[in-house]
């Protein structure tokens, strides 16, 4: 069950995303940095000119109800992520689900909803765009995998922008997966451009925000 203290999604969705910081950051969560997901994400990140953060190389421990893990790498990383308007979550499908580093990261977002001193920062997730990059050994990622992301984004008031998926049954193949990578790069760029236009419109129309 998600934490109950967060405002309901409907209220979160009413928040205007204007004033959102520009730029994107990509969070990679695979058991190997240069495996299928890492290589697919690197192609996408270079098309977008964005940084890739390897979650598996960070000290991010499991969610702790007592918050005894506040000294690990999660809080500073999350504060950095909050500086971007678009967040790309990348994970392989491991047993129909997201990988362990991604699960730990998503669970720990709860810290920003639990702790009064982090709540204002946590609310800054609202209105950001969230994207998913995934690899598996089938043509599509399983529904429970996709739902874990999209339901979480909806709960947090983030706008789901779409997904890139590569069937890596025969490994990652740059040529075979190029079209999907390029489609996704255009999708993320399109979202950023739309957001810039609506922010400009909001600035021009007094009282619109």
Ligand X SMILES: Cc1cc2nc3c(=O)[nH]c(=O)nc-3n(C[C@H](O)[C@H](O)[C@H](O)COP(=O)(O)O)c2cc1C
Nearest to ligand X of 118, 163 (CB atom): 163
Instruction: Determine, following the binding rule CB under 6 A, whether residue 57 of this chain makes contact with ligand X.
Output: no
Nearest to ligand X of 60, 134 (CB atom): 134
Instruction: Determine, following the binding rule CB under 6 A, whether residue 42 of this chain makes contact with ligand X.
Output: no
Question: Rounded distance, CA 58 to CA 87, Å?
Answer: 17
Residue 53, beta-bridge partner list: 27
- Nearest-approach distance from CB 88 to ligand X, in angstroms: 15
Instruction: Determine, following the binding rule CB under 6 A, whether residue 160 of this chain makes contact with ligand X.
Output: no
133 vs 4, 33, 42, 121, 130, CA distance in Å? 28, 14, 11, 25, 10
Residue 135, beta-bridge partner list: 92, 166
* Sign of the CA dihedral with 91 first, then 95, 101, and 107 last: positive
- Which among 26, 74, 83, 78 is positioned nearest to 49, based on CA atoms? 26
Instruction: Determine, following the binding rule CB under 6 A, whether residue 23 of this chain makes contact with ligand X.
Output: no
With CB under 6 A as the contact rule, the residue among 56, 64, 72, 94 that binds ligand X is 94
Q: Nearest 5 degrees, angle CA 56-CA 144-CA 98?
A: 5
Instruction: Determine, following the binding rule CB under 6 A, whether residue 36 of this chain makes contact with ligand X.
Output: yes
Instruction: Determine, following the binding rule CB under 6 A, whether residue 32 of this chain makes contact with ligand X.
Output: yes
Question: Rounded distance, CA 54 to CA 109, Å?
Answer: 17
Where in 120-139 is the site for ligand X (CB under 6 A)?
135-138
- Which region among 93-101, 155-163, 181-189, 192-200 touches ligand X (by CB under 6 A)? 93-101
The CB-nearest residue to ligand X is 35
Q: How many residues sit close enough to ligand X to count as binding (CB under 6 A)?
A: 17
Q: Rounded to a whole number, what is the largest CA-CA distance in the chain?
A: 55
Nearest to ligand X of 23, 35 (CB atom): 35
**Which residues form the interface with ligand X (CB under 6 A)?**
30-32, 35-38, 92-96, 135-138, 168
């Amino acid at each position: 069950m998600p934490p109950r203290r967060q405002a309901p999604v409907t209220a979160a969705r009413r928040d205007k995303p204007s004033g959102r910081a520009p730029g994107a950051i990509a969070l990679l969560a695979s058991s190997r940095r240069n495996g299928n997901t890492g290589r697919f994400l690197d192609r996408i990140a270079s098309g977008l000119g964005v940084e890739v953060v390897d979650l598996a190389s960070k000290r991010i421990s499991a969610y702790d109800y007592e918050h005894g893990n506040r000294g690990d790498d999660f809080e500073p990383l999350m504060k950095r992520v909050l500086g971007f308007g678009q967040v790309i979550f990348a994970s392989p499908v491991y047993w129909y689900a997201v990988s362990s580093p991604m699960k730990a990261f998503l669970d720990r977002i709860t810290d920003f909803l639990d702790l009064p001193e982090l709540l204002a920062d946590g609310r800054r997730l609202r209105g950001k765009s969230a994207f998913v990059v995934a690899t598996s050994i089938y043509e599509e990622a399983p529904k429970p995998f996709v739902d874990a992301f999209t339901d979480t984004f909806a709960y947090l008031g983030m706008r789901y922008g779409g997904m890139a998926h590569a069937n890596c049954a025969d490994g990652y193949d740059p040529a075979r997966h190029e079209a999907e990578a390029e489609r996704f790069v255009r999708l993320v760029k399109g979202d950023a451009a739309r957001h810039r236009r609506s922010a400009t419109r909001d600035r021009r129309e007094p009282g619109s925000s």
